[in-house]
Structure 1
Amino acid sequence: MGKKRRWPIAIACLALVTACGGGRTGTPPSATVPAAGSSPGRPSTSPAAAATGETVVSPAWKPVKGAKLEGSAALLDVAATGPGDAWAVGYKGSAEDREGSPALQHWDGTRWTQTTVSPSDARHLVGVSAGGPDDVWVVGNAESAYAAHWDGGRWTGWHPFGVADDYSLSDVATTGEHAWLVGRTPSQGVIMEWTGRGFRNALRADGYFTAVTAKPGHVWAVGTDAPPGTPGTPMVWHGTAVSGPDIQSWQRGRTPEIAGGVLRRVWMVTPSDVWAVGSVSPPDGAAEVPLVLHFDGASWQQVQVPVPRGRLDGVTASKPDDVWISGIDADHSGQVLFLHFDGQKWTPSYGPLLRRERADQQYPESDDIGRTGITRVPGSSRLWAVGSVGWGDAEAAFILRHN
C-alpha cells in the first residue's frame, strides 16, 4: 500500500466484518482508548511502519463468525479445553464517551455464543485460562481489577485487590485447584495465587507482568523490568514447588539483556521447554522488532525468526516440534502473522485480509491488525486465533480457525 503507519499506543475497541459473511457492515461507533493498565493492548511506543499490504494467504486459516458484539469491540485472548469447548474474552460497546463492557464468548463445538459478566465488575476482560469445562478463569479491569471462575454451572467473581483503583491484571493461568494471576500495582509487577480459599500475594518485582503459564509445581510469569512507558529489558520469573504441590521458591530467569524488550505471552510445553514472545522497541524510534525467547531447561536464549519488523502477541504449543506464534508483521500489517516451529525451522504464514484500505478511512491504521491471540485445541490439530483489526472508531474483533 506504500503508506506510512504509526503503531498506536493502546488498543481501542472493535467489531469485525469477516470474509465468511454474516458480520456487521459499516463503521462502528467511535471508541475510547483504554487507560494505561486497563487492558494490555498496543505498545507504549509508536514508531512509523510502512505497510506493503496484502500477501499470500494460508488456506488453513478461515474466519469464523463470533457472537455479535455491539459498538466497537475486541477479543484479546482465547483458551480451549477440547474441540467442543473454547472461550474468548475482550470488550464491546466502547466509544468516545464510555469505556465499554466485557465481552465473553463460548464455543460449544457448533457456534460461538455470548456469556454475561457484570459490566460493573469489569469493563475489559483481558485474559482467560481453561483447565477443563468446569475450570475456567477470566481476569479484567474496571475501577478495580476483577477475576472470575466458572465451575461448569455458574460464574463467581472477586476483586483480588479490593477497591484499589491503581492495580490491574493482565493474565491468568489455572492448574486445577490453584490459579495464578499477574499484573501490576502502582509501582511494581505482581503475581497473585488463588489457593482455593482466597487470594494471596506470591511475588512483587520491579516492572510489570503481562502473562503467565502454569502446570502443577511450576509457574512462569513474564513482562519487563521497567514501569510502563519506560524502556526496560525482558523479565521472567519462575516459581517452583520445593516439596509437595505448593509453589515455595521464586527465581528470576537470566534472560538476554535486550534493551527495549518486553514479553507479552508465555507457554510452557514442559518445565524444561518454555517459549516467551513479545517485541523490542529500538531507541531510535524505528519499528518494533519481534522477540522470541526459549528456555531449554538450562538457559534462556533469543531465537531468530524470519520476520524483521513487527510484534508477537500469542504463543501456544502441543509438543516441542509443534509451536505456533501469532502476531503482526509490519510489512504486511493487514493480515495476522503466524509462525510455526517444527523442531527445526520457523515457517511464516498469514491469515486472510480482514479489511481493505480505503482512501477515506479515518485512521491510517483502520485496516491494520491491532492485536492477536492464539491457542491450541487439546485432542485435535485445531487452533483458534482471535484479535482485532483497525484503530479508533473503526476497530473490530475477529476469530480465525486453523483445521
Structure 2
Amino acid sequence: MTKIASRRSARNGGPLGKATASLAALVAAGAAVALAAGPASAAATPWEKVNTPKEGDRTLRDYVPLQGDTGVGMTEAGRSGEGEKYHYWLRDGKNWKQLPTVSDHAWSRANALTGTSANDVWVMEEIYQKPVLVNHWNGSAWENRSPAEQGLQLRDAKPVKANDLWAVGQVRVAGAQANPAAVGHWDGKDWKVTKLPQAAGGSSSLSAVHVNSAADVWAVGNTCKDLDGKDCRPYVVKWDGASWQEVSTPVASGTIDKVVGRAANDLWVSGKDTAGAFALHWDGKSWTRADVKVPGIEKVGSLTYHNGQLHAGLNSAYYANKGAVVRWNGNDWEKLDNPVESFSNINRLTTAPDGSLWSVGATYVPFWEPTYQYFVGKLAAPAAR
C-alpha cells in the first residue's frame, strides 16, 4: 500500500443549487493531491483472479456481481464492418452459462449492464440511428422493455429491485433546436421519461446515476452551449421525490461521469477538466475537492464503497499500463495493490451484496496489432479473509 499525501480543499458553502466558490479558489486552497515518494508498509491485498468465458481472442469486457456468488458478464462477440455484437453470461459459483442472444443489430454499443439477481438482469444497447434497445432477463427469457421516447439514448442504469429501475442519458432528435438530458424510471409496468430543461441551441447528457432512496436520486454528466458537445461544464442533478434540481459544482469546465454515495450528505462524484482528473465530495451543503494526482493517470474510471471506505479505479493515459486502485481514508488517498501486475484501466469497480470487491479492467498489449487483455479480480469481503 502506498499513501498519497493530501490536502483537502476549502468548501464552497452555500444552499443547494447555488455555486458559491470558484475553481480558482479551490486550487488556491490546495485541492490537488500528490503521490508520496515511498510506499507505506502493509500486507499485500489478496486479490483473486477469476476465470472467465472466452470467445476466440475476446474475453469478458464487463461483469456485475449479483446475489450470493452469482453474477452477469458480457463478452464482445464480434467486431467487423457491421460493428460490435455482444453475448451475455450468468455465473453461478465457478460455472458460466451463456444466455440466448439478445439482439443481432449492426453498429450496436452496450452502454449499461446491471441487475439485482439471476432473474433480474438489464441490458441497454445503443443502436446506430435507431432507438435505444432495453432488454430484461427474467430468469428464463429476454423481455423487450425499450422506452417509446423518440431519440432516447441511455448511458447508465441502477436497479433498486425488479420493479424499480432508474436510467439516464439524453434525447437526440435530428433537426431539434436542443438535445436535453433525460431520466427514465421503470415501475415494473411502464417507463416514465423526463426531459430536463435545456436552453435552445445547447445540449446536455447524463452519464451515471446513483440511488440513495426514492427521494434521493443523483445523476451526473455535462451540459454544453452548442449541439456538438463543445464549451461544456459539469452537470449534476438531484431528484428529491417531487422534482429534479441542478446542484451547482465549483468546476467551471469539463464533465462529471461517475457518482456513488451512502446518504444525502455523503456523496462522491468524479470527472475530468482541463487540469485533469478530479473528485468532489458532497456533505449535504457544499462540495470539497480531493483530487488524486498520480503520474500517468488520465481519469477516475470507477467509484465504489468497500468495507466502509471509498475506493476508486484509476485509468491511465491511452496505451499506458499505469492504472491504479486507491481508497480514501478520510484525509488521504492510499494506493492499494493492483488486481493484476499492471493494467491500463478499470472499466468497473463494484462491491457485491456479500461485501466482496470486484474489478474488471484491461491491460494494453503492444503486439504487431495492439490489443487489450481483459481481467476480472475479486477481493473477498473482510470477514472472509
Same fold per TM (> 0.5)?
yes
Specify the alignment match of 1:188 in structure 2.
Answer: 180
Root mean square deviation, CA, Å: 3.1
Matched AA of 2:376 = I
Percent pairwise identity = 21
2:253 matches 1:268: no
2:81 matches 1:106: no
**Are the equivalent residues in 2 in contact too, given 1:127–1:170 (CA < 8 A)?**
yes
Query: Tell me, what secondary structure is at the counterpart of 2:66?
Result: strand
Larger Rg: 2
Aligned pairs for 1:30-69 (under 5 A) are: 59-69=45-55
Specify the alignment match of 2:281 in structure 1.
Answer: 294
**Are the equivalent residues in 2 in contact too, given 1:338–1:348 (CA < 8 A)?**
yes
Query: Tell me, what secondary structure is at the counterpart of 2:111?
Result: strand
Specify the alignment match of 1:373 in structure 2.
Answer: 348
Specify the alignment match of 2:165 in structure 1.
Answer: 179
Specify the alignment match of 2:115 in structure 1.
Answer: 130
Specify the alignment match of 1:311 in structure 2.
Answer: 299
1:352 to 324, 340, 346: 340
Specify the alignment match of 2:246 in structure 1.
Answer: 252
Matched AA of 2:289 = Q
Matched AA of 1:300 = W
1:238 and 1:394 mapped to 2: Cα distance? 39
Q: 1:201 to 1:221 in 2, by over 3 A?
A: same
Specify the alignment match of 1:232 in structure 2.
Answer: 232
Matched AA of 2:94 = T
1:112 and 1:326 mapped to 2: Cα distance? 26
1:71 and 1:228 mapped to 2: Cα distance? 36
Query: Tell me, what secondary structure is at the counterpart of 1:66?
Result: coil
2:131 and 2:44 mapped to 1: Cα distance? 41
TM-score, scaled to structure 2: 0.72
2:102 to 118, 141, 153: 118
1:58 and 1:329 mapped to 2: Cα distance? 22
Query: Tell me, what secondary structure is at the counterpart of 1:100?
Result: strand
CA drift of 1:232 comes to 1.6
Query: Tell me, what secondary structure is at the counterpart of 1:82?
Result: coil
Q: 1:294 to 1:116 in 2, by over 3 A?
A: farther
Specify the alignment match of 1:211 in structure 2.
Answer: 208
2:384 matches 1:400: no
**Are the equivalent residues in 2 in contact too, given 1:190–1:208 (CA < 8 A)?**
yes
Specify the alignment match of 1:200 in structure 2.
Answer: 192
1:115 and 1:351 mapped to 2: Cα distance? 27
**Are the equivalent residues in 2 in contact too, given 1:255–1:301 (CA < 8 A)?**
no
CA drift of 1:231 comes to 4.0
1:87 and 1:263 mapped to 2: Cα distance? 26
Q: Which stretches in structure 1 are left out of the alignment for 5+ residues?
A: 1-54, 242-247, 283-288, 355-367
273-282 vs 57-66, greater mean Cα deviation: 57-66
Q: 1:314 to 1:58 in 2, by over 3 A?
A: farther
1:120 and 1:296 mapped to 2: Cα distance? 45
2:134 and 2:196 mapped to 1: Cα distance? 19
Cα offsets for 1:318-372 (capped at 9, x unmatched): 46x4111112134993153211123342112333246xxxxxxxxxxxxx62552
2:72 matches 1:87: yes
**Are the equivalent residues in 1 in contact too, given 2:320–2:364 (CA < 8 A)?**
no
Specify the alignment match of 1:343 in structure 2.
Answer: 330
Higher relative contact order, chain-length normalized (CA < 8 Å, sep 6+): 1
**Are the equivalent residues in 2 in contact too, given 1:74–1:92 (CA < 8 A)?**
no
Cα offsets for 1:174-217 (capped at 9, x unmatched): 12222111112222221111122211212325411111111431
